[in-house]
Structure 1
Amino acid sequence: MLAEQGTPTSAEADGSVRFITPPPGAEEHLDAEYDNEPLRFRTVDNILGDASLPGQAVRELDEQLFLASAEEPPTLEASKADVRWRRAMEEQMASIEENKTWELVDPPVGCKSIGLKWVYKVKKNERGDVVKHKARLVAKGFMQREGIDFEEVFAPMARMDSVRLLLVLAATRDWSVHHLDVKSAFLNGELTEVVHVHQPPGFVIAREEGKVLRLRKALYGLRQAPRAWNIKLDTTLATFGFKKCSSEHALYTRRSKEGILIVGVYVDDLIVTGSEQQEINKFKSEMAAKFKMSHLGMLTYYLGIEVRQGKQAIELCQSAYALKLLERAGLKGCNPTQVPMQEKPKLSTAEKVDATHYRSLVGGLRYLTHTRPDITFAVGYVSRFMEDPRKNHMAAVKHLLRYIAGTCALGLAYPQRKKTSDLHLFGFSDSDIGETLMAERAPQACAAAACHGIWLRRLLKEITGQSVAAPILRIDNKSAIELAKNPIFHNRSKHIDIKFHFIRDCMERKQVILKQIGTEQQLADMLTKPLGKNNFEKLKSQVD
């Protein structure tokens, strides 16, 4: 459910910052002319004293200004000014050498080697505090050719729906959720192709400048690196006794006499939960024996989502992410609105706006919907205009951002419930009438909801090993339910017959149950149409 939780000039050609210094006597002239008025500016000499610096001091000042304005250096040369980045690069090289990632060889005849570059990243926690300076050696994978340099690149990752399902299950069963991170995960992926790369910038071996490196294991940036790492992890988990879920290939389960253990994989981030703490500790030890691991303890921050595990509930929130989005839009500290979108939006054509900026904001809003179902419809609506956004469309986006500004603390809360052996799934389905008949839109929405419910039921049954009752789907269109039970073939229903056939088959097989619900209790209205303040607040308070 939703719940609360000196004056610098512009940069010169060399990129440095300079200060304006008035000519001799300017201060006395100004003091005499404006003796009774406050001083409008201050000079560098007023603040720092003598501003004449030797060349070395100027360069050091420029470097300090650069480091203050840009936390992540864009080049190797820029990183040399900070010992923290040098240390981070040395740690990365030590990991690569310890992992026996490559071997030094002569350049292959008739084969081009791939270049390498350093990428720098400041890692922060949910409060925005710097926790680590990370340097990563990356291959220029854009030079690789499919079918020659690599074959398969796909690697499954847990969907956000699956992650939320794990958290709901953990909250319901009073399980703790832990977070593990594999250090330099891609370096563990074993390559089947022959790949040569240049020696790393800044770490070229003396008197061996003409040689190249043949990779035994993957590097970040290689097109096949994600797949190689996933194969390595999948094989390792299988040796630990885990079974991959057929409904979600990024979820693994292990059952024993002690209990059940569940692992969700998103590249190198592992979410671990289960019925017994000793099984979780055992898995941590097993992984530490195979890979270099970061044991991050209880899950608190995952892919930009803040997670709070309390005694009463597990809560998800993206308040820090929302604040960054507001800052990017230039709306930090703006006056909030009470609803995400006006009840009857009229977005007529108007002058064009910056399409890149518009898409960036809408993309950020789409990610925010993972914990904010109350903005789902508004985000979907403004997403329609990403191809050719206009001024009125941007106004709708800003209206939505102002609503977020007043509700940053909102998120999802999964409360603990009375322990029971039975598992139930409930859903709501509705479609906005718009410009078409409800009879045409309702079966489409109902069929989509039925598919999702069937998948969730199958996944939940596979994870827990328990029987799960057929999901109950509540819709407020009684005629759609009757038509799904007893389809009447006439001119207006022939073209939607396939959807009704699917729903009817699901009902006959007892894969889904349709139930009629009053319009005033249809929670899906919040996801399918713009609502007035009273209706919106009423439905938002009922989301559970």
Structure 2
Amino acid sequence: MLPIPFVPFKVHENIASISANTPQPQDSAPQNLAQQIDNLFQVEQPTTQLEQPTAQLEQHDEPPEVEFDIGDEDDPKSFDQAMKSAQAPLWHKAILEELNSMAKNGVWTLTDSTSSRKPIGCKWVFKTKRDSQGRVERLKARLVAKVFTHREGFDYTDTFSPMSSKDSLRLIMALTAHFDLELHQMDVKTAFLNGDLKEDIFMQQPPGFVERGKEHCVCKLNKSIYGLIQASRQGYLKFDEVVTSFGFIENILDDCIYLKVDKSRFIFLVLYVDDILLASSDFQLLLETKTMLSNSFDMKDLGEAHYVLGIEIKRNRSRKLLGLSQLNYINKVLKRFNMEACSPGDLPIGKGDRPSRDQCPMTEQEQANMKNKPYASLVGSLMYAQVCTRPDLSFALSVLGRFQANPGEPHWVLAKKMLRYLKKTKSLMLMYGHVDNLELTCYSDSDLAGCVDDRKSTSGYFFFWLEVRSLGEAKSKIIYLHPLWRLNLLDVLKQLGKDCGSKFL
């Protein structure tokens, strides 16, 4: 095996349910596994338990005309629908909160309509926000602009906005566990409403809230608003301007990761659209950062981080353990594809499973049989779990993802096999801890022409960090993804004054 350069931020972790010093139980039932994890992190059992299926079918294939619940929430699709719903007072309150935030930020100015510039439309978008247990946390309303007719170079120019990768998020979680950092979460209430607009854009008044006596007026936008093509970029540029002025340094590889070092104190800031994670070695520095953000933006302090981006964070600080779980998300996926009562499976993909193009539909009847089966939605749902907390799904998803354009019945059966595996292992989580000897070791290997269709090879790589074995799978080109490979985990630790050895085999 040849030496390879280290991939910046491509740090994978150990999938585990209990610590290395805790013996594995003989009974591997999912509910026993969940109890082991809760005991490890000293988490109280929820008062409401999920009902267990009373019976299990032999194959658990869906009925011929089953309808898959691939929607998220039965939220209102329009302002009129929201005002006629049973939760109309709550939706109305959410709308007023949004309008108050816009007025506070000076998002628009009412002006007389001009015949030369046709105003764009807007609509209300409603969303039910839930916590890690699936309970309703709050109702959210957003005013979104309709920009179907916007032209590049006239209504907007640059549109790119960086997004923090899940690899970077997990790296911060690993450092949080190792250094026992304070981990808190904040929310920017109106992230997109902070960016300044350079272009002249006119918008119709919000549905249901046209100002009396000024029905002929339109809104001249002063700030970016949800729906505008450049909104995300403008909001990010404003945030970057503020935090860098307070001594935060932007990471070269990930523009949404910031680090501030003050003598022996340091703090990481992770930005994901409007969600902010703060990981600090000093509580006072954490408070200073929160004050700075609250003075600059309309912020909501969520305290210690427990649930972010659909990922539940569990900590046992006395043992310096941190776990990341997507149990609630996996339960939603199982429900969405009618696999809540399926038989648990042992593997995401078996040694004898070799999907190929020959299994794709060849006749009209075969295509008709697959027409109503949401294969792409299933693979996409599993992929989110894979990139966040379940790298054990990587290989199976890389195989199934090759057939999304024209999946066949055998591919659909394999996709459901992954759901059976998740049914058994849904309580597994990524675990991070602390060791005295920091050393990073990377191994790489590849099969030989493993794809039965084009005989292409698939490579994989192992990372050993903090003396914990970890596994990742990717195409060979991922290993050489970024030319700035020298700006990696070792450089981050160096900025913090920490030594970390490394070797590549």
TM-score (norm 1): 0.71
| Aligned residue among 216, 220, 223 for 1:214 | 220
**Could you list the per-position Cα deviations for residues 77-125 of structure 1 after superposition, in whole angstroms to 9, with x for gaps in the alignment?**
1211310011111111111111111111111231111101101011000
Q: Partners of 1:223 and 1:99 in 2: how far apart? A: 19
Question: Match for 1:200 among 206, 209, 215?
Answer: 206
* Other structure's SS at 1:138 match: strand
Partner of 2:183: 177
Q: Which has the higher helix share?
A: 1
The residue number in structure 1 matching 2:379 is 362
The answer as to whether partners of 2:225 and 2:231 remain within 8 angstroms in 1 is yes
Question: Are positions 1:426 and 2:441 aligned together?
Answer: yes
Q: 1:395 offset after TM fit, Å?
A: 0.3
Q: Cα–Cα, structure 1 residues 381 and 315, in superposed 2: closer, same or farther, change >3 Å?
A: same
Quote the Cα distance in structure 2 between the aligned partners of 1:245 and 1:150: 27
Sort the Cα spacing of 1:248 and 1:441 in 2 relative to 1 into closer, same or farther, 3 A.
same
In structure 2, relative to structure 1, the CA distance for the partners of 1:279 and 1:110 (3 Å cut) is same
- Report if aligned partners of 1:179, 1:296 keep a CA contact under 8 Å in 2: yes
| 1:80 maps to 2:97 | no
Partner of 1:323: 331
Contact 2:73/2:128 (8 A) holds in 1:
no
Do the aligned residues in 1 keep the contact of 2:449 with 2:456 (CA within 8 Å)? no
RMSD: 2.5
AA partner of residue 417 (structure 1):
V
Note the 1:386-397 alignment, pairs <5 A: 386-397=404-415
| SS of corresponding position for 2:247 | coil
Aligned to 2:397: 379
Q: 1:26-65, CA deviations, whole angstroms, 9 ceiling, x for partnerless residues?
A: xxxxxxxxxxxxxxxxxxxxxxxxxxxxxxxxxxxxxxxx
Q: 1:449 to 1:346 in 2, by over 3 A?
A: closer
SS in 2 for 1:121: strand
What's the offset of the Cα at 1:457? 5.5
Higher-Rg member (1/2):
1
Deviations 1:206-264 (CA, angstroms, capped at 9, x unpaired) = 11111101011111111110010001000000121111111221111111125111111
- The aligned residue for residue 247 of structure 1 is 253
**Which AA in structure 2 matches 1:183?**
K
Establish whether residue 341 from structure 1 lines up as the match of residue 346 from structure 2: no
What is the number of residues matched between the two proteins? 408
Indicate conservation of the 8 Å contact 2:389/2:429, yes or no: yes
* 8 Å Cα contact 1:158/1:266 also seen in 2: yes
Deviation track 1:372-411 (CA, whole Å, cap 9, x = no partner) reads 1222111111111001011110000001111101111012
Q: 1:377 to 1:302 in 2, by over 3 A?
A: same
Matches within 5 A, 1:470-485: 471-472=502-503
Q: Which residue of 1 aligns with 2:433?
A: 415
SS at match of 2:140: strand
Distance 1:144-1:128 versus aligned 2 partners, 3 A rule: same
The question of whether the paired residues in 2 share the 8 Å contact of 1:431 and 1:438 is answered with no
Is the Cα contact below 8 Å between 2:450 and 2:456 reproduced in 1?
A: no
Q: Which residue of 1 aligns with 2:479?
A: 449
In structure 1, how many angstroms separate the alpha carbons of the residues matched to 2:477 and 2:122? Answer: 49
Matched, 1:167 2:170: no
- Out of 457, 466, 491, the position equivalent to 1:461 is 491
Matches of 1:374 and 1:463 in 2, distance apart? 27
Alignment map for 1:268-307 (pairs within 5 Å): 268-307=274-313
Q: How far apart are the structure 1 equivalents of 2:191 and 2:224?
A: 9
Residue type matched to 1:74 in 2? K
- CA deviation profile, 1:250-300 (whole Å, cap 9, x unmatched): 111111125111111111111111211110111001111111111111111
Summarize deviations over 1:482-532 as a string: whole Å, max 9, x none: xxxxxxxxxxxxxxxxxxxxxxxxxxxxxxx32xxxxxxxxxxxxxxxxxx
Q: Name the structure 2 match of 1:503.
A: none
Partners of 1:411 and 1:227 lie apart in 2 by 33
Is 1:401–2:416 an aligned residue pair? no
1:99 aligns with 2:105: yes
User: Is the CA contact 1:425–1:453 (under 8 Å) kept in the aligned structure 2?
Assistant: no
Distance in 2 separating the partners of 1:316 and 1:203: 43
Q: Which residue of 1 aligns with 2:56?
A: none
Matches within 5 A, 1:36-115: 71-81=74-84, 82-115=88-121
Unaligned 5+ residue runs, structure 2? 1-13, 18-33, 35-71, 461-473
Residue in structure 2 matched with residue 12 of structure 1 by the alignment: none
Q: Would the alpha carbon gap of residues 336 and 239 (structure 1) be closer, same or farther in structure 2, given more than 3 Å must change?
A: same
Find 1:238's aligned residue among 234, 238, 244: 244
Structure 1: distance between partners of 2:389 and 2:281:
25
- SS of 1:264's equivalent in the other structure is strand
Q: Is 1:149 the equivalent of 2:155?
A: yes
Structure 2 residue aligned with 1:3: 16
Shift of 1:170: 1.0
CA distance 1:287–1:463, change in 2 (3 Å)? farther
Kindly indicate which of the two structures has a greater share of residues assigned to strand. 2
- After superposition, the Cα gap between the structure-2 partners of 1:77 and 1:438, relative to the gap in structure 1 and judged at 3 Å, is closer
Decide whether the 8 Å contact of 1:198 with 1:212 is kept in 2.
Answer: yes
Matched with 1:520 is none
Query: How much has 1:429 moved relative to structure 2?
Result: 1.8
Seen in structure 2, the aligned counterparts of structure 1 residues 456 and 294 have a Cα distance that, compared at 3 Å, is farther
Q: Residue 226 of structure 2: SS of its match in structure 1?
A: coil
Please say if residues 107 and 193 of structure 2, whose CA atoms lie closer than 8 Å, have aligned partners that are also in contact: yes
Quote the residue 1:267 is aligned against: 273
Aligned residue for 1:127, secondary structure, equals: coil
Flag the 1:325–1:170 CA change in 2: closer, same or farther, 3 A: same
8 Å contact kept, 2:448–2:456: no
Report the Cα distance in structure 1 between the residues aligned to 2:381 and 2:456, rounded to whole angstroms.
34
Conserved 8 A contact 1:457-1:468: no
Unaligned runs of 5+ in 1: 6-68, 473-512, 515-544
Q: Give the CA deviation at 1:446.
A: 6.3
| Map of 2:68 onto structure 1 | none
